[in-house]
Amino acid sequence: MTINSSVNKVSLTALPPLALYIHFPWCEKKCPYCDFNSHQVKDGATGFDEERYINALIADLETELPRIWGRQVHSIFIGGGTPSLLSAKGMDTLLSAIRARIQLEPGAEITMEANPGSVETEKFAGFAKAGINRVSLGIQSFQDIQLKALGRIHNGEEAKKAIAIALQHFQSVNLDLMYGLPMQSLEDAKKDIETALSFKTPHLSLYNLTLEPNTYFASFPPKLPSEDDVDAIFEKNLDLLTKAGYKRYEVSAYAKPGMECKHNLNYWRFGDYIGIGAGAHGKISFPDKITRQVRERHPETYMQSMETKGNALVESKEIPTADLPFEFMLNTLRLTDGVNTNTFTERTGLPLNVISKSLDEATKKGLLDSNPTLLKGTAQGLRYLNNLQEIFLG
């Protein structure tokens, strides 16, 4: 797909919603399937110093203020790693500093990721008091044999206890589950979903285990269920979740009505987000351009850069006009309801006709809904999402 950049300049009539992502790069143990930027706390080379890292985060946010001046932040997501390793006092210090520096929407969704192994009743009460109102628990499975195969530090009973504690303290709780696990049968997967549903949390995320590059599993792959077995597990899971009143609103996300994750919806609708912390990515729009930033990946290098240079950027650039259609479609095609076609121009600043040939091709292949007012994948398009997204690759 070729775009004549001299003709199609970015021209945004309004800026998209703005969110804040904060990366916490430490965890108790690196899981063999994980390709996120995370470092084991017990590894002395990573230097986990809570006060020092929080100071770096606050300084990092301050460098972004001139770029987002006057804009309101609609959601905050603290991801990792395992952010629940922070103390409640540290979380309060961080969120108080953020509120003092940005315009935060009243009642904004503030999510923190947590692992069952790091859950304590008193600590969760402190997080809630600090302002966390949504928690995402990395359950993955309730069965000890699968948890051990995944290298998790918790067991099934600890997972259940963590959910019960979270439900006492937070307005919304999400459970992260995985399927297609080593030694997992259809019945195993069914039990995991049924156990999750028994807690009646308003949101569930369900991911198919994939072997990502630069992970332990990539080098030493476990024996996984066949593709047919994985498909059968997915279909059974979808049926159970639908019957329980959850809607699949994104490829891997299911929610009760009105309980979708606002922060992630902003990503998928090609909204803006400030990204602070080690390895964090950010996207900020202006009337005539859309920019991306990337921070130093290693936590020690990140903190040193903030302390000595006043910023930790390794990349800060304007997104080339030719790349915007693919970046937009890469995100929005994950949504099961799609988006209105007008959203393309609203968020990229480009006319829809720059992707007309790709839209026709995707529709003819049965991957894109034929409704001219929607950009929405068909059931086949969601099943073969990579094929659909690649059609829009420049």
Q: What are phi and psi of 331, to 5 degrees?
A: -85, -55
Q: How many CB atoms lie within 10 A of CB 388?
A: 23
Question: What pLDDT does 177 receive?
Answer: 97
Ramachandran sector of residue 172 (left: φ over 0; alpha: ψ -120 to 50; beta: rest): beta
Parts of the chain belonging to CATH 1.10.10.920: 321-394
DSSP percent split of the chain into helix, strand, coil, nearest 5: 40, 25, 35
Contacts of 5 by beta carbon, 8 Å cutoff, 6+ apart: 320, 321, 322
Parts of the chain belonging to CATH 3.20.20.70: 18-267
Distance of CA 107 to the CA centre of its chain: 20
Cα 159 from Cα 187, distance rounded (Å): 19
Distance of CA 59 to the CA centre of its chain: 23
Q: Tell me: the pLDDT tens digits for 230-285?
A: 999 999 999 999 999 999 999 999 999 999 999 999 999 999 999 999 999 999 99
Q: Quickly name the fold that domain 321-394 has.
A: Arc Repressor Mutant, subunit A (1.10.10)
Q: Tell me: the pLDDT tens digits for 71-110?
A: 999 999 999 999 999 999 999 999 999 999 999 999 999 9
For domain 18-267, the CATH superfamily is Aldolase class I (3.20.20.70)
Question: Helices marked H in the chain — which ranges?
Answer: 50-64, 88-101, 121-130, 144-149, 156-169, 186-197, 216-219, 227-243, 262-268, 299-308, 324-332, 342-348, 356-364, 379-383, 385-390
* Residue 9 tokens, joined: 């300049």
- Average pLDDT by consecutive 10-residue portion of the chain (394 residues)? 56 96 91 79 68 98 97 97 94 98 97 88 94 97 92 91 96 96 93 98 95 82 90 95 97 97 98 98 97 97 97 97 96 97 97 95 97 96 95 87
Question: What pLDDT does 2 receive?
Answer: 44
